[in-house]
Amino acid sequence: MIDGVHIQVEGLRVRYGEKEVIHDLSFSADRGEFVAIVGKSGSGKSTLLHALAGFIESQGKILMPGDVGMVFQNYAVFPWLTVRGNLAFGLHGSNAHQRDEIVARLLEMTGLAEEAKKYPAQISGGQAQRVALGRALATDPEVILMDEPFGALDMYTREKMQSWLLDIWEKEHKTVLFVTHNIEEALFLSDRVLVFGQGKILREYPVSLPRPRVESLKFEGNFIELKRQIVETMERA
Amino acid sequence: MLTKNQKQSLTRFLRMATSIVLFLVAWEIVSRLGLVHPSLFPPPSRVFLALIEMARTGELARDVRASLWRAALGFVFGGAAGIAIGLLTGRLKKVDNYLSPLIQLFRPLPPVAIIPLVIVWFGIGEVSKVFSIAFAVFFPVWINAHLGACEVPLTFLWSAQTLGVKNVRLLWKVIFPAALPFAVAGLRTGVSLAFIMVFVSELAGASAGIGYQISVSYLAYRVDRMMAALAVLGLFGAGADFLLTRLAWLAFPWLKLAAQR
């Protein structure tokens, strides 16, 4: 792998029966880079993440660290565990003291210390998604794969969650692959946007917007211009 | 001052009590009208007196103890086997291929039909009764646990995979709790079947039990005692379902939250 490159994918192909849904796809991501993958609904962008995580069979070369955290759109927090139980779920290799320390840190990070004893059915969607991200970060993975994590949230909560995610990312600096169909979200969060369509990457857009990012950025000229270009690329597809 | 929840519970209880009281009053009136001989259709007041008599002689306690013990043992064995095998057939393709066709062959058999065979195998004692009850309980619990295990959301399994949870730990920490709402639904069907089977198996031969009491009361032409025993059986059947649900909620509080959603 080239120095600094954390994820390298070459000639990736995924088939569902006779149909090939990802064709000869190649891209890379640097260590600590936040890469967003945007595409229309049903374009196969989630399939790409599932292939990278090893959930489904694929052909081609995938070079990435073995420890990967995953966050799904439907949260996938376990309803039978409390917030604390969910956060501690992956910590079966740690002793009780380490586990308590990590969970306390994650509760603070997610702002859910007061909800620690609650079950997912007793918290909001935004809080459940924070639990899901906290759980994914518990084992300190090098890479986080996020599959439309805010897709089920209302606009207000979604925006709050985006800012919260950026805060976490600034501190943890994990390599993130973030799949979304929301172009604004992709631009607001990422260092680079890969436009995905027809089973391949159509084009990539570096996002050189300053960090830390604030909501007002979404109304600035270069943000709007980038958004227009991405929309055009997606529409042409 | 009652809270809103307490008020709702009280209203629900009063509605249930009203329907039962109205039923008993209607029964008492119809019976006392004399349209049918009171020996054939005794009023609830006489059934209640018969129940008191059974309680005073100690028969009631003996029969209830015997029946509940058989029902509980059969339920535990059948339920535990149903859940364990259901989880395995639901998740492991090979186990499913080997076992499910066999289970499906036995599943349509009316549990009552196996009683003569079970008596030939195990005699008329406790083993045959407990086996018959466990046999009846097994199938609804198995099919529910099997379906529950089949339908564990992929995202749960994938999340566990990325967090390094697999094999037995995955079965215990993810698949079992994810399938639990289904398994509890199966257990609720199973508890009703346990009470049906305890009655039937005691009719086939017993020296104590509610089914036995109904059988001897029939021979003595004591319809009031038959009805009293039937009422006891019904009460314990309904009580067992109530208790099962509450125990499940107590052991797994999240099930109650899921049920309330």
Enter the pTM of the model: 0.85
Tell me, yes or no, if B167 comes closer than 8 A to chain A by beta carbon.
no
Crossing angle of helices B223-251 and B176-203, in 10° steps, is 170
Crossing angle of helices B126-150 and B93-106, in 10° steps, is 130
Question: Mean pLDDT per segment of 10 residues, for chain A of length 237 residues?
Answer: 77 92 93 94 89 94 92 92 96 90 93 94 93 93 94 88 92 93 95 93 93 90 95 88
Q: How many helices (H) and strands (E) does chain B have?
A: 12, 0
Contact A136 B162 (CB under 8 A): yes
ipTM: 0.90
Q: Nearest CA to B195 among B81, B25, B68, B97? A: B68
d(CA B136, CA B78): 7
C-alpha torsion A122→A123→A128→A131, nearest 10: -90
Per the CB < 8 A criterion, the answer to whether A149 and A76 are in contact is: no
What is A5-66+142-236's CATH topology? Rossmann fold (3.40.50)
Residues B45-102: pLDDT tens digits? 999 999 999 999 999 999 999 999 999 999 999 999 999 999 999 999 999 999 999 9
Residue of A nearest to B254 (CA): A80
Tokens of B202: 């005691």
| CB burial string A209-227: b at 16+ within 10 A, e below | beeebeeebbeeeebeebb
d(CA A193, CA A201): 10
User: For the residues of A113-133, what is the DSSP string, one character each?
Assistant: GGGTT--GGGS-HHHHHHHHH
**pLDDT confidence of residue B8:** 87
Crossing angle of helices A125-138 and A96-110, in 10° steps, is 140
**pLDDT confidence of residue B102:** 95
**pLDDT confidence of residue A43:** 85
Residues 64-123 of A with CB under 8 A from B: 68-70, 72, 74, 76, 78-81, 89-90, 92-93, 119, 121-122
- Pairing status of strand A143-147 against strand A68-71: parallel
**pLDDT confidence of residue B152:** 96
**pLDDT confidence of residue A3:** 52
Tell me which amino acid residue B238 is: A
Over the Cα atoms of chain A, what is R_g? 18
Tell me which amino acid residue B30 is: V
Tokens of B215: 């059988």
Q: Nearest CA to A190 among A134, A234, A146, A130? A: A146
Please report the domains of chain B, with CATH numbers, ordered by start residue.
42-260 (1.10.3720.10)
B177: chain A residues, CB-CB within 8 Å: 78, 80
Residue of A nearest to B160 (CA): A90
CA B250, B254, B257, B261 torsion-angle sign: negative
d(CA B131, CA B204): 14
Q: What are the domain boundaries of chain A?
A: 5-66+142-236, 77-139
CA B96, B97, B103, B108 torsion-angle sign: positive
Q: What are phi and psi of A61, to 5 degrees?
A: -105, 125
Tell me, yes or no, if B177 comes closer than 8 A to chain A by beta carbon.
yes
**pLDDT confidence of residue B204:** 84
Rounded to an integer, what is the distance from CA B85 to the centroid of its chain? 19
**pLDDT confidence of residue A116:** 96
- Pairing status of strand A68-71 against strand A59-63: unpaired
Residue of B nearest to A66 (CA): B162
**pLDDT confidence of residue B242:** 93
Q: Which residues are CB-neighbours of B111 under 8 A, at least 6 positions away?
A: B132, B135, B136, B193, B197
Cβ-Cβ contacts under 8 Å between A and B: the total is 64
B32: left (phi over 0), alpha (psi -120 to 50) or beta: alpha
Tell me, yes or no, if A46 comes closer than 8 A to chain B by beta carbon.
no
pLDDT one digit per residue (tens) for chain B, 261 residues: 778 888 888 888 898 899 999 999 999 999 888 888 888 889 999 999 999 999 999 999 999 999 999 999 999 999 999 999 999 999 999 999 999 999 999 999 999 999 999 999 998 889 999 999 999 999 999 999 999 999 999 999 999 999 999 999 999 999 999 999 999 999 999 999 999 999 999 988 888 999 999 999 999 989 999 999 999 999 998 899 999 999 999 999 999 988 776
Residues B90-100: pLDDT tens digits? 999 999 999 99
Enclosing H/E stretch for A176: strand A175-180
